[in-house]
Structure 1
Amino acid sequence: MRIAILSDIHGNPIALDAVLADVQRQGPIDEYWILGDLVAIGYDPVTVLERVTKLPRVRFTRGNTDRYVVSDELPISIEQIQAQSRLELLPQLLSTVKSFAWTKGYLTATGWLDWLGRLPLEQRLTLPDGTRLLGVHAAPGTDDGPGIHPRLSEAELEALVKDCNADLICVGHTHIPLDRTVSGIRVVNLGSVSNPVTPELVASYAIVKANNSGYQLQLRRVPYDREAVMEAIRRARHPASDYLQGFMRGEFVARQG
């Protein structure tokens, strides 16, 4: 059995196509898992959905931004900004509102919004050797929050995963690849297909190979044409154009330390 597991495509079909091409070069795949944040904050959400829903034997989970698009929730409200005396964040909030509204309008006009709203929180599978695999966007039981990232202590990571009834957990959300084991539970952050925040500025995903004797997991990194993505963002006149192009230029890498 071979499973390709991806997360955080964020409406970027150029990055997605690069990853799917790399998957095909690795050999036959029995299942695809897509662990959320499929469409927002990206320049072409519908092409991404058309691509991934045509994959054979594909499973999905929702991400926090998928939920924001469907529910009109936002990462932070004006009231929270005012309560924290952080009025300088208002321009960022307004840009976020415009971005999610743009994506929601795009999906509504093309008939995809109800599909996005039906995505489940998690996926589970018992591998041939008995390993219990859990796929979820941010952390067991949630599609949101700080997520699983390298700065977590052993105790913090253990608290997040100890009651999840899984032996291998795959997540995304933070865009930072990670592979750690705590209390016998292996936790793998796939990184992201789009909007990288690692120094390599490449897409990342995982392939799980499993049989009756055990499993192997490989985190793969795939370069893609970031200049082409920036040009596509400009052509789309995306309302969060500056923010998206900042990812492509690596402006967010230094903030992850």
Structure 2
Amino acid sequence: MKLAILTDIHGNELALQAVLEEIDARGDIEEIWCLGDMIAMGPDTNEVLDLLFARPTIRMITGNHDEAILSLIAGEGHPETYKHTREHHEWVAKRLSKENTDKLKSLPRMIEKEINETRIIGIHYHIELNKRNAHINDEPFHSILEPTLHNMEKMFANYPADIICFGHHHPEHLFKNEQQIYLNPGALGVSKENTAPYAIIDFTKEKQPVIEIHHVPYNKKSFLQRFETLQVPQREIMFKLFYVGE
């Protein structure tokens, strides 16, 4: 079996389309995991979710941005530490269709699978056991740690899995020790590069799974133009922080 791992699409339909087209062209991916933050930052809210929910081979979980937007829609407030993104989140919330809202609400925070005696867990980022069911306004997701083996062990060593797949922190992570592998393929939709990353875990060739991170080119210029066409709130600061420049 080969499993594809995507995360942090962040409303980037063109990047997602490019990755799905490459996966389809390969013809050997049996299942795709999408590890949260499908929406926000980028302009393509329903477009991204429509693509994902249309595919029965995709398993999805929620991320912090997804949950913050759902909280706004439900009238349950907005996380205090996300107040700098509230204007943008409100814009996304107004665009999110009722059908996609309901589907997003039904998603779990974690997925698990065993393949060839290898246990895999997918989660958006570390959540302490006593916060696994906490509301997003209670800040359940762990603060971001620098990508080092020591920090990955600090967060994930007690997870009952051989491979822990996650996102949230946008740079790529691929660390391993004698017991576990820690994989974050990098943010598919949020990068200053002109490519979209995703990972493939291959269980077919070796006793141990083989992991590769792929980068797929896409039309980033057209993607960025959509921010202007739709007058996406807070686009200037997002350009500077996530998409263009040094």
TM-score w.r.t. structure 2 length? 0.85
1:103 is matched with 92
Percent of residue pairs bearing the same amino acid type: 29
Compared CA separation, residues 171 and 182, structure 1 to 2 (3 A): same
- More relative contact order in 1 or in 2 (CA 8 Å, sep 6+)? 2
Counterpart pick for 2:142 among 132, 141, 145:
145
Q: Which runs of 5+ in 2 are unaligned?
A: 73-77, 133-139
Indicate conservation of the 8 Å contact 1:201/1:250, yes or no: no
Provide the C-alpha distance between the structure 2 equivalents of 1:237 and 1:29, rounded to a whole number of angstroms: 37
Tell me how far apart the structure 2 counterparts of residues 166 and 75 of structure 1 sit (CA, whole Å). Answer: 32
* Greater mean deviation of Cα atoms: 32-41 or 201-210: 201-210
Separation (CA, whole Å) in 2 of partners of 1:178 and 1:77: 24
Matched letter for residue 163 of structure 1: N
Match of 1:84 in 2: none
Of residues 100, 104, 114, the one that matches 1:116 is 104
Aligned length in residues:
229
What letter matches 2:107 in structure 1? L
Q: 1:159 and 1:214 mapped to 2: Cα distance?
A: 23
Q: Deviations over 1:104-130 (max 9, x none)?
A: 1111x44322221222111100012x1
How far apart, CA to CA, are the structure 2 residues paired with 1:149 and 1:203? 21
Offset at 1:183?
4.7
AA of the residue aligned to 1:139: H
Match of 1:249 in 2: 244
Distance, in Å, in 1 between the alignment partners of 2:80 and 2:215 is 28
Q: Cα RMSD (Å) of the superposition?
A: 2.1
- After superposing on structure 2, the runs of 4+ consecutive aligned residues of structure 1 that deviate more than 6 Å are none
Aligned pairs for 1:73-222 within 5 A: 73-74=78-79, 76=81, 93=84, 96-107=85-96, 109-128=97-116, 130-139=117-126, 141=128, 144-147=141-144, 149-150=146-147, 152=148, 154=150, 156-196=151-191, 200-211=193-204, 213-222=207-216
Aligned residue type for 1:56? P
- Answering whether residue 55 of structure 2 is matched by residue 61 of structure 1, we say no
Gaps of 5+ in 1: 79-92, 252-257
Amino acid at match of 2:190: N
Structure 2 match to 1:36: 36
Q: State whether residues 35 and 62 of structure 2, in contact with CA within 8 Å, keep that contact through their aligned partners in structure 1.
A: yes
- Measured at CA, do residues 223 and 148 of structure 1 come closer, stay the same or move farther in structure 2, by a change above 3 Å? farther
| Contact residue 7 and residue 193 of structure 1 kept, 8 A | yes
Q: Is the 8 A contact 2:3 2:33 kept in 1?
A: yes
